[in-house]
Amino acid sequence: MEANLTPVMTVAELNRFLETDFPEIHTDGKLFEVTAVGPGSVTMRLAPSEKHLRPGGTVSGPTMFALADVTAYCAVLAHIGPVALAVTTNLNINFLRKPEPGALTCTSRLLKLGKRLAVIEAAISAGPDGDLVAHATATYSIPPR
C-alpha cells in the first residue's frame, strides 16, 4: 500500500453519499452499509434479501460482485472525496466457497491510488468465523478534478 493514504471521508459521509448520489443500490431496501474507514481501506456490510439468494441456499455471484464493486468504489471515494464519476474500468472476481445465506462483509484495500487510476483488492467474508468466500481486484478511472 502507498504511504499516507489518509481518508478524507467518514463512514457517515460515505453512507450519506450512497443514499443521495447512488440511491439505486438501496432499491431493495438498505442492504449496503459502510461500517469502517481506515488508511487505504473501507469495509462494508451487505444484508442480502431472498432476492439475492440462489437455489441451493447460497448468496448469488452477482450479489457478491456488486458488493466487491461498491466497496471498491467507496474505498476510492473515501480517499479522494465525493467524485461521483469515478468508474470501474475492470473488476475480476474469484468465488472461493459457497456462502450460506446471511450477511457478508467486504473489505477493500487500495493497492495504488494515482491521479487517474486506482487499483483495489476486495475480500468478501461470511459466517461466524469470517471465512473468505470471494476475492476481487478492481481498477477505477478517476476523472480530472
Sequential pLDDT tens for the chain (145 residues): 455 699 999 999 999 999 999 988 888 778 899 999 999 999 999 998 888 888 888 999 999 999 999 999 999 999 999 998 999 999 999 999 999 889 999 999 999 999 999 999 999 999 888 999 999 999 999 998 7
Quick one: pLDDT at residue 84? 85
Quick one: pLDDT at residue 49? 84
Query: β-strands 104-113, 53-54: how paired?
Result: unpaired
Give how many domains the chain has, as a whole number: 1
Quick one: pLDDT at residue 1? 47
Alpha-helix runs per DSSP H in 30-105: 61-80
What is the CA angle 133-137-140, rounded to 5?
A: 135
User: Rg of the chain over CA atoms, in angstroms?
Assistant: 14
Q: Residue 20: which CATH number?
A: 3.10.129.10
6 falls within a domain: no
Please give the residue range of the domain that contains residue 32: 11-141
65 falls within a domain: yes
5 falls within a domain: no
* Sequence-separated (6 or more) residues with CB below 8 Å from residue 111: 1, 119, 120, 121, 137
134 falls within a domain: yes
26 falls within a domain: yes
Cβ neighbours around 60 below 10 Å, total: 15
